[in-house]
Amino acid sequence: MVHCGGVLFRKYGNFIDNLRLFTKGGSGGMGYPRLGGEGGKGGDVWVVAHKKMTLKQLKDKYPQKRFVAGGGTNSRISALKGSKGKDCEIPVPVGISVTDENGKIIGELNKEEDRILVAEGGLGGKLLTNFLPLKGQKRVIHLDLKLIADVGLVGFPNAGKSSLLSQVSHAKPEIADYAFTTLKPELGKIMYDDFKQISVADLPGLIEGAHMNKGMGHKFLKHIERTRQLLFVVDISGFQLSSQTQYRTAFETIILLTKELELYKEELQMKPALLAVNKMDLPNAHDKFHELMSQLQNPKDFLHLFQKNMIPERTMEFQHIIPISAVTGEGIEELKNCIKKSLDEHASQENEAYYKKQLLNLRISDTLLYNEPSLKNAVTSSRKDII
């Protein structure tokens, strides 16, 4: 752990955000037909949320990824009622969505100690089953982390996202001078003087056509859904994937990234977003930055330069635009402060909206309670009139 410029950094390497597990409830115990004894029920398999757990820890601890509950005991003369089999608990992090093999949601674990039954134990042998025990339920489940980070870095390959992540959080992603440097999501944490921690995820670089699942498109966009806010990272000198593809300016890059998000899921554009304009150490970068700012202030004036199918329905509105250089460190402190400010503002807006909703519900219930007696009185008085 390092202390630098009033901010602590901690390295968080690769992480796992989904796991596939085999689960099986315990078999029931044998019944005792001669004396009508019942076998014990098989144990159940539960998924339980724990605060300090990660999917990587779960995978490392249980590499087989098989979870089987204990069997119920057989009925016998000394204990006609067999005892229940031992339950099996799978420890998972908070914020997990559990689905079955068909993608149907079994449940979600949003706070510590939340638990979901995923595989039920079989019944013990009894009169109903001709004293023969039933086998436990078998189920393959998928665990998905709903929120992987506070901030997700969005950009085409080689925009400098990995360099930026190592600058803000001292995570050590592999960095190279070619497209597709990030193949697995990398996670870093910014640690501030007031002990606030903000997690930042560098996700595999997006390419044009990602919404159609080109490259790692869909997986990337699924990760983006699971961040609180977006940080667009663009190269001030523009981007070209290969000699066969068209060169894109910084402004065109932003428009195309916006379009990719929109084509995948329009709601992604509703997330709070910041823009980091990277590689400001390059020649003529400041002139290009002024040009970019005028294009972003009046984007509609420049959209005629694009093919119709590349123009998004609505352009991204950035809460902060920060020129940076991940190489020299220019603008990095300002960027970290803007990230914190933006998250704090968004959290207070969410709280305000929540309290307003609670207050409205309270007023509605008060109105109903207040009106109820008068309704009863109205009914009784009208009856008197009839009499």
Give the per-residue pLDDT at 115: 95
Give the per-residue pLDDT at 375: 39
Give the per-residue pLDDT at 220: 64
Task: Say if CB 179 and CB 241 are below 8 A apart.
Answer: yes
Q: How wide is the angle at C-alpha 152 spanned by C-alphas 101 and 9, nearest 5°?
A: 115
DSSP H or E segment with residue 344: helix 332-386
Give the per-residue pLDDT at 295: 92
Give the per-residue pLDDT at 306: 83
Task: Say if CB 239 and CB 246 are below 8 A apart.
Answer: no
| CA atoms within 13 Å, Cβ hemisphere of 81 | 1
Which residues, in sequence order, are bridge partners of residue 97?
Answer: 108, 144
Which residues, in sequence order, are bridge partners of residue 261?
Answer: none
Give the per-residue pLDDT at 170: 56
Alpha-carbon distance 80 to 29, whole Å? 11
Residues of the chain with pLDDT under 70: 1-15, 158-162, 169-185, 203-220, 241-242, 365-387
Query: Which of 160, 152, 153 shows the shortest CA–CA distance to 279?
Result: 160
**Helix 217-225 with 250-264: angle, nearest 10 deg:** 80
Give the per-residue pLDDT at 368: 60
